[in-house]
């Protein structure tokens, strides 16, 4: 069967694949379909033709799988925020574990490595401590609206999430179950307030309007609750009035910040930042350490599960008194500080300026004196000179970005031959690629998948390596 682009076919989904797509087979050819579950029989349209596979768009579920459930949220089938709400959480964990195991064995060639079942989150919903909503004068139309014969107006004040693949259109949310319930209530309040007071949303095509984003951050271990209003213009009177209304309606709010982004960049980081109410930050904890989290600072999005991820890394590290630790790609130093209690010395290495500044600030705030941070590109600064200066590491932790480690860093690790290595990853496919190289000098003993983001296909993983 040729399966040409645009062709409609009936498919039986056999398994779950990377990035949450279901897999069907037609005459041995894999067809990937987003939004499906193993066991579904679906009608789909071929949208991408490749030499060894096809991609298809789900048109209709003809026979639902026994593992398919009704999503909690009405937007689940069109919003990019929750791609697996139609799958029970126990099955999500099963598929995520299978995904990591497949990458380790098939891409990494590590058939003897133990891959544990995925570690689930205690909270399946309302687990995020940060949500960033966007505003637009153009909303994403539903499939039913698109199929209507009469004209459907997509203009107005839309507040919610970006439609998948669109920078200019927003899915106008009627509910959201990712952050605590007050989060959506605040979004709805701001949307209604703007409509009632003729405050225009930002037009990403014409670069005009006022409201751009609403970022909400809440602490897991404290009662701190932040509102960050991101605007295109600086209008202090308008923001003060909106802030007063928010504080009266939602007494849980402890700080309000206004980031003014008057550039074409879609980021929520403002060129100017003003604290409207409260201290301008929230305070949270990971383990025994406290962190001040400013509006645009990085912090793990699922606090409770981040602690379990870090605890897994610490168990795999098996730290002994007097050992020196290197933390590559250390970010704002949360994992470095988490390891510092048992280590003699920890050296964090990070490329991003502001992250290094935050890491040093966090160490100082927590009175941790055995942690140092240096800035630099890993492939450039991770040299013998650095080792001579800071001491040879007994343990090396690496937590690289989604693309994995640079080949030069992998090569350097193979040369350095640190006795113990722990690899933390947000993408098990690139981790498997790196582990395949490291397996020349390390035994890859075990891998623990950790689910940081229920209802999505994303999964973190921690690998335990020991020098051969």
Say how many C-beta atoms besides its own lie within 10 A of residue 263's C-beta: 12
Q: In Å, what is the CA distance from 258 to each residue of 243, 296, 405? A: 10, 11, 36
Q: Are 20 and 34 in contact (CB under 8 A)?
A: yes
Q: 426 an active-site residue? A: yes
Sign of CA dihedral 461, 347, 390, 411: positive
Residue 260 phi, psi dihedral angles, 5° rounding? -105, 105
Residue 409 phi, psi dihedral angles, 5° rounding? -70, -45
DSSP string spanning 19-51? GGEEEEEETTEEEEEET--TT-EEEEEEEEE-S
Alpha carbon distance 112, 360 (integer Å): 40
Residue 299 phi, psi dihedral angles, 5° rounding? -155, 140
Residue 203 DSSP code = B
Catalytic residue among 79, 82, 330, 426: 426
Q: Are 172 and 187 in contact (CB under 8 A)?
A: no
| Continuous H helices in 288-427 | 303-317, 334-340, 353-365, 378-381, 384-390, 407-416
Q: Are 349 and 327 in contact (CB under 8 A)?
A: yes
Alpha carbon distance 131, 301 (integer Å): 9
Q: Which of 102, 101, 114, 108 is nearest to 435 (CA)?
A: 108
Work out the burial of residue 41: count CB atoms within 10 Å of its CB; fewer than 13 is exposed, 13-18 middle, 19 or more buried: middle
Residue 467 DSSP code = E
Helix (H) or strand (E) holding 437: helix 428-438
Active-site annotation, residues? 426
């Amino acid at each position: 069967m040729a399966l040409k682009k645009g062709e409609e076919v009936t498919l039986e989904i056999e398994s779950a694949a990377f990035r949450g797509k279901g897999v069907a087979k037609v005459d041995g050819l894999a067809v990937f379909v987003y939004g499906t579950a193993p066991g579904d029989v679906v009608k789909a349209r071929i949208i991408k033709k490749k030499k060894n596979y096809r991609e298809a768009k789900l048109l209709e579920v003809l026979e639902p799988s026994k593992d398919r459930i009704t999503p909690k949220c009405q937007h689940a089938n069109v919003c990019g925020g929750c791609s697996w709400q139609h799958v029970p959480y126990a099955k999500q964990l099963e598929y995520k574990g299978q995904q990591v195991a497949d990458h380790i064995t098939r891409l990494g060639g590590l058939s003897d490595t133990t891959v544990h079942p995925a570690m689930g989150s205690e909270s399946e919903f309302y687990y995020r401590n940060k949500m960033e909503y966007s505003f637009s004068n153009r909303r994403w139309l539903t499939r039913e609206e698109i199929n209507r014969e009469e004209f459907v107006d997509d203009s107005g004040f839309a507040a919610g999430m970006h439609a998948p693949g669109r920078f200019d259109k927003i899915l106008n949310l009627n509910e959201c179950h990712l952050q605590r319930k007050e989060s959506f209530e605040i979004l709805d309040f701001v949307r209604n307030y703007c409509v009632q007071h003729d405050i225009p949303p930002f037009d990403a095509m014409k670069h005009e309007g006022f409201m751009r984003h609403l970022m909400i951050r809440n602490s897991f271990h404290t009662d701190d609750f932040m509102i960050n209003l991101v605007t295109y213009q600086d209008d202090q009177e308008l923001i003060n009035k909106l802030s007063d209304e928010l504080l009266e309606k939602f007494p849980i709010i402890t700080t309000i910040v206004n980031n003014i982004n008057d550039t074409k960049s879609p980021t929520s980081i403002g060129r100017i930042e003003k604290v409207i109410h409260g201290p301008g930050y929230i305070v949270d904890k990971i383990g025994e350490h406290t962190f001040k989290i400013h509006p645009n600072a990085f912090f793990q999005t699922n606090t409770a599960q981040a602690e379990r991820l870090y605890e897994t890394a610490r168990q795999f590290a098996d730290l002994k008194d007097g050992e020196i630790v290197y933390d590559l790609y250390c970010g704002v130093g949360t994992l470095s500080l988490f390891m510092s209690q048992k280590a003699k010395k920890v050296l964090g290495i990070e490329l991003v300026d502001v992250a290094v500044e935050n890491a040093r600030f966090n160490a100082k705030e927590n009175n941790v004196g055995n942690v140092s941070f240096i800035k630099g590109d890993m492939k450039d600064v991770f040299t013998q000179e650095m080792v001579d200066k800071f001491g040879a590491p007994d343990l090396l932790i690496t937590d690289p970005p989604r693309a994995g480690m640079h080949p030069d860093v992998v090569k350097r690790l193979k040369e350095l031959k640190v006795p113990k290595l722990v690899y933390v990853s947000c993408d098990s496919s690139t981790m498997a690629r790196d582990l395949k190289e490291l397996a020349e000098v390390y035994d890859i003993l075990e891998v623990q998948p950790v689910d940081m983001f229920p209802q999505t296909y994303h999964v973190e993983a921690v690998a335990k390596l020991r020098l051969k």
